[in-house]
A and B are shown apart, each in its own frame.
Chain A
Amino acid sequence: MDRVPILRIGDVLLVSIQVDLQDQGVLDLQEDLAEQLSSVSARGVVIDISAVEIVDSFIGRMFATIASVSQLFDAATVVVGMRPAVAITLVELGLTLGNVRTALNLEKGLEILRSTTIGRTGAGWAQPPPEATR
């Protein structure tokens, strides 16, 4: 059974999902990630799903679960590179990603993490970007 690699870049953990995940793979990933988070004091988790073409409700919930787990280790979660078809599917399924932030690509995702740890602001999921003062 292939495991999804979890790469460490500085204090960010990068999870790049390159295969279509089965339910067992999702559970394995959650387990591995929790272990990594507890051993490395990461401040952020980036999940790259630019290669994922098919999602179901189980994977949809995975993002929220990972975000909640990361939250316990004081790490923010950003999902990057979601394809339009996947986004449409998730909306049709009626899934919200809870407190997961999203970004168009890896670069923007890392940027969001940087800004959240510095000032806890910046564009992202759930809150509209703050209005600049006049």
Chain B
Amino acid sequence: MDVGAQHLAQLVELLRTNSEQLIHRWVELTAPSLRGRLTEAELQSDSRDLFDALQQALATTASIDDAHFAEVKGLLEELSTARARRGFTPTETAVSVFTLKQAVSELAERQDDATLYRQVLSLSALLDALGLRTFEAYARTREGIIKEQSEQLLELTTPVVKLWDGVLAVPLVGTLDSIRTQIVMEKLLQALVDTGSEHAIIDITGVLAVDTQVAQHLLKTVMAARLMGAECTISGIRPQIAQTIVGLGIEFGDITTKASLSDALRHALRSSGVEVVARTRTAG
């Protein structure tokens, strides 16, 4: 038992004897800010768990860094994570911690006890610290969600499609960064091996910007494909991008570039010996 525990003796007693009343008042204060997105029963059980843990922790220590507070912190993080996933704002989550202060101080006021009042003040400081923790947990959860989504996006946006026997295409959409180009490069080269295709077309119609680094990656992809014995064509360069490429002085060397995907396909078909001819309609 440390000094803090002695120091809060009266408060702990107050919490213990009035626990039902406090929880009820706490839920009552919190409910409006959640605007019915959480059922009364859920809120009740969340609050009860938190309250019990807090009460137990306070009985031994008043320092938030103490091991006895581990359970309270764990519960809070869980709560914050769950709410973040359900789309609550961090304020709404934090408010559901802060409202306990109000519930306790309302009760303490009626007692008219100066010592108790001081203890309520230190509880309030403690709850502030706990409230901030919900912010941290919230931010962490959101970051996790964002990371997951960007990974999913990465998988979605780099398909390798077969246009013809021996002709593969990768339509690139969006912003190209080093990681994406790397993935595209590996996927494309692997697909070339798997299908035994001798032609690949990288279509960048959907790419909004190209800088030196991206161009470098594209060139490397083409070189690697050549090393493996396949020919790679780049198509769909936008007018602005063409300006940028020339402006930056990027040399595409002897790499074939075509205006559109269809031109590139025609080029690939021709060099593999396929000629596309329009059928003349026979009379009658």
Contact = CB atoms under 8 A, between A and B. Distances in A.
Contacts of A114: none
Contact of A104 (B193, B223, B270): B193
Given A128-B254, A132-B270, A123 B228 contact: no
B190 A84 contact: yes
A101 B230 CA distance: 10
Interface in A88-108: 88, 90-92, 97, 101-105, 108
A80 B193 CA distance: 11
Interface in B61-120: none
A84 B229 contact: no
Contacts of A119: none
A132 B268 CA distance: 11
Interface string B175-189: 000000000011001
Interface residues of A, number: 27
Contact of B228 (A82, A129, A130, A132): A82
Contacts of B256: 128
Contacts of B224: 84, 87-88, 90-91
B193 A84 contact: yes
Interface string B154-175: 0000000000000000000000
Contacts of B21: none
Nearest to B196: A104
Given A84-B190, A104-B198, A132 B229 contact: no
Contacts of A82: 227-229
B193 A132 contact: no
B226 interface: yes
Q: Is the interface of B mostly helix, strand, loop or mixed?
A: helix
A35 interface: no
B184 to A, nearest CB: 12
B192 interface: yes
B233 to A, nearest CB: 9
A88 B271 contact: no
A80 B227 contact: no
A92 B270 contact: no
Contacts of A97: 227
B186 A91 contact: no
Interface in A62-80: 79-80
B227 A132 contact: no
B267 to A, nearest CB: 8
Interface of B: 185-186, 189-190, 192-193, 196-198, 220, 223-231, 254, 256, 267, 270-271, 273, 275
| Closest 7 pairs (CB-CB, A-B) | A84-B189, A102-B229, A103-B229, A87-B224, A129-B271, A87-B227, A132-B270
Given A84-B186, A88-B186, A132-B273, 6 more contacts: A102-B227, A103-B229, A104-B230, A108-B196, A123-B231, A130-B271
